[in-house]
Amino acid sequence: MAENQSNYTEDNIRSLDWKEHIRMRPGMYIGKLGDGAAADDGIYVLVKEIVDNSIDEFVMGNGRRINIKIKDGVASVRDFGRGIPLGKVIDCVSKINTGGKYDSKAFKKSVGLNGVGTKAVNALSDNFIVESIREGEKKRAVFSKGEMIEDNEVVKTDERNGTYFEFIPDQSIFKNYKYRMPYLEKLFWNYCYLNRGLAIYFNNEKFISENGLKDLLEDNMESDPLYPIIHLEGEDIEVAFTHVRSYGENYYSFVNGQHTTQGGTHLSEFRGAVAKVIKDFFGKNYDAVDIRQSIVAAVSVKVIEPVFESQTKTKLGSQEIEPGGKSMRAFINDFLKVELDNFLHKNPETADIIEKKIKQSEKERKELSGIRKLARDRAKKANLHNKKLRDCRVHLNDEKSDKKEASTIFITEGDSASGSITKSRDVSTQAVFSLRGKPLNCYGLTKKVVYENEEFNLLQAALNIEDGIEGLRYNNVVIATDADVDGMHIRLLILTFFLQFFPELVRGGHVYILQTPLFRVRNKKETRYCYSEEERLDALANLGKNPEITRFKGLGEISPDEFKNFIGDDIRLDPVLIGKDAKIEDVLSYYMGKNTQERQEFIIDNLKVEEAVEPI
């Protein structure tokens, strides 16, 4: 101890420049890194940080079009705003806490306020190009990992005013990354819903919205609404909501155009205010849970100098609509008390439908209350004695843990598969839940089946989602089944369970499919794990003559020592995504409903005999 203290001298103290600090601690600036499997992975935050600047220009009345292209890992963004002042182009992308948004008069309700965004993208990119065009002149600079490699002179141009950014994420930081188009499309659509009249051209496809949050709900509802969308607007606030024929609550919340995926004070106050106004309108003390059951809603507010709980701005912490101004609670309550109450008085047909829905939810909740306690007790005993759940130490609701985002539960079928994962997992963040046999096809059934079916009841209890996903214990819910017909069937049955009763789990980006290798190809010097036939052929071509080939037919055939490779740092996860134009109701009906003629024709039309795999 004494020796270590004596070595603590001035030489141990060092100061990092801006790019070194960003590269050493990227999580502080862009959240988690990831490989693109999750919507909040760093590669999407990089894109968003650049586009946010273009959005702020649009909000200030400059530039109605943004061109975005992303292909082969290269992202580019061109707007037609005012452009960065040419003498400050380099400073704005390479000097921390430098930007135009500190002047609250110019950017009163801006998305970004701390002058970090473009600097983080610059520091975390293999190649970063910035161009600014103003009044017939253009300034261009090129960087690599934050180091400037080109500082071009200002030149004359006939291009329109605006900025152009191009970057390639640093592959040493974002390993094996891949942009998922659905995540990007959702991001760009949200920009358009919140900025009516803005046209975004993403890979030459036009995104534009005329009706704001009303369009958002219409485009994203997975089942038909029970009544026309209620769309209300005021100064610095816009809300839209309806009820649908599904379980759970589904919200989209925004602050100054920022999608707050984790909600925050504005969403909490909206949820409370909706319940209060509806209770007051009917003059009945309905339970808030029954009022909000099956609601689909979007809320957007504009806040002066918003306070977020992290640099990635996914959760609002502001208690006031502006420093020293009206509280968030009073602001949202006052708005809905007037606007929603007036709407319900003017639209009695909608009010009647809402009350019928509330009474239906209340009736179902009371019918379930008798069996819920018994089911909970049964689940606790089963998980304790049968070891259905092999838990981990860190959970999503552990507020003080820095590992909570990594908390994962693997859902497996059979003792051999769960045994392999259990022996090779990281007990700190990875849990295992073992199903017994094929789950029930719950399509079209009521939530009563969740409590009556032992496997579903135990799974629900393990995830702690009985009362909604606010209590979810794991950030990543990973379905780990064999890569054969039975495994695919089990996977579909589990997904049906989630989509039928807990769709917000999927919508929230928590559900994934574990990809495990189909083949192991090795010689005396090298071993390759192949996840497709293409990878197997490539391995055969590169490993010389007569390598040993093993075909993995089930997870239980993979030894624990090998499994560590597939659920560790190099884990391959495919996110379960709900497409913008896909309705859960229609998808479940098609895949899990009765054997329709349409599905039979699809199977026949797409049936093919796969080429035989070379003998092993």
From residue 529, alpha-carbon distances to 34, 324, 517, 562, 569 in Å are: 21, 59, 6, 10, 15
Question: Same structural domain for residues 417 and 438?
Answer: yes
Q: What percent of the chain has pLDDT over 90?
A: 44
pLDDT band at 14 (very low <50, low <70, confident <90, very high): low
Same domain, 170 and 116: yes
pLDDT single digits (tens) 525-578: 899 988 888 899 999 998 988 899 998 877 877 888 888 888 888 888 888 887
**Band of the pLDDT at 473, cuts 50, 70, 90?**
very high
pLDDT over 80 (residue 342): yes
Q: How many domains does the chain have?
A: 4
pTM: 0.79
Does residue 451 sit in the same domain as residue 597? yes
Instruction: Give the pLDDT confidence score for residue 1 in this predicted structure.
Output: 47
Most confident range (mean pLDDT) of 102-111, 347-356, 423-432, 603-612 is 347-356
478 versus 568: the higher-pLDDT residue is 478
Are 348 and 462 in a shared domain?
no
Verify that 420 and 565 share a domain, yes or no: yes
Q: How many Å apart are CA 253 and CA 265, to the nearest integer?
A: 10
Domain limits at 529? 519-551
Residue 531 belongs to a domain: yes
Q: Which residue has the tokens 């079009």?
A: 65
Quick check: is 268 in a domain? yes
Inside any domain, residue 4: no
CA distances to 384, 408, 573 from 26, rounded to whole Å, are 40, 22, 22
Task: In whole angstroms, give the CA distance from residue 416 to residue 575.
Answer: 25
Note whether residue 380 is domain-resident: no
Give the model's confidence band at 71: pLDDT under 50 very low, under 70 low, under 90 confident, else very high. Answer: very high
- Could you read off the pLDDT of 240-280 as tens digits, one per residue? 999 998 888 889 999 988 888 888 899 999 999 999 999 99
Does 616 fall in a domain? Answer: no
Q: What CATH number did the domain enclosing 324 receive?
A: 3.30.230.10
**Given pLDDT bands bounded at 50, 70 and 90, which one contains residue 612?**
very low
Average pLDDT for the chain: 85
Q: What tokens does 383 get?
A: 């998980």
Same domain, 466 and 340: no
Q: Is the pLDDT of residue 606 over 70?
A: no
CATH code, 397: 3.40.50.670
402 and 332 within one domain: no
**For residues 48 and 598, which has the higher predicted lDDT (pLDDT)?**
48
Question: Which residues in 72-89 are b (16+ Cβ under 10 Å) and which e?
Answer: ebebebbbbbbbbeeeeb
Which residue, 555, 429, 420, is CA-closest to 490? 555
What whole-number percentage of the chain has pLDDT above 70?
86
Tell me: the pLDDT tens digits for 489-506?
A: 888 899 989 988 888 898
The distance from CA 67 to its chain's CA centroid, rounded to whole angstroms, is 23
At residue 452, does pLDDT exceed 90?
no
**Main-chain phi, psi angles of 357, to 5 degrees:** -65, -40
Q: Residue 1 falls within a domain, yes or no?
A: no
Q: Looking at the predicted structure, is the pLDDT value of residue 479 above 70?
A: yes
Q: Are residues 567 and 424 in the same domain?
A: yes
Mean pLDDT computed over 209-237: 92
Helices (H), 437-594: 448-452, 454-463, 485-501, 503-507, 533-542, 560-566, 584-592
276 close to 333: Cβ distance less than 8 angstroms: yes
User: Are residues 233 and 296 located together in one domain of the fold?
Assistant: yes
546 and 565 both lie in a single domain? no
Identify the pLDDT of residue 275. 96
346 belongs to a structural domain: yes
**pLDDT higher for 512 or 376?**
512
User: 596 and 448, same structural domain?
Assistant: yes
* 3 within some domain: no
Q: What is residue 350's three-state secondary structure?
A: helix
pLDDT band at 371 (very low <50, low <70, confident <90, very high): confident
* 545 and 468 co-located in one domain: no
**CB contact at 8 A, 231 and 267:** no
CATH number at residue 80: 3.30.565.10
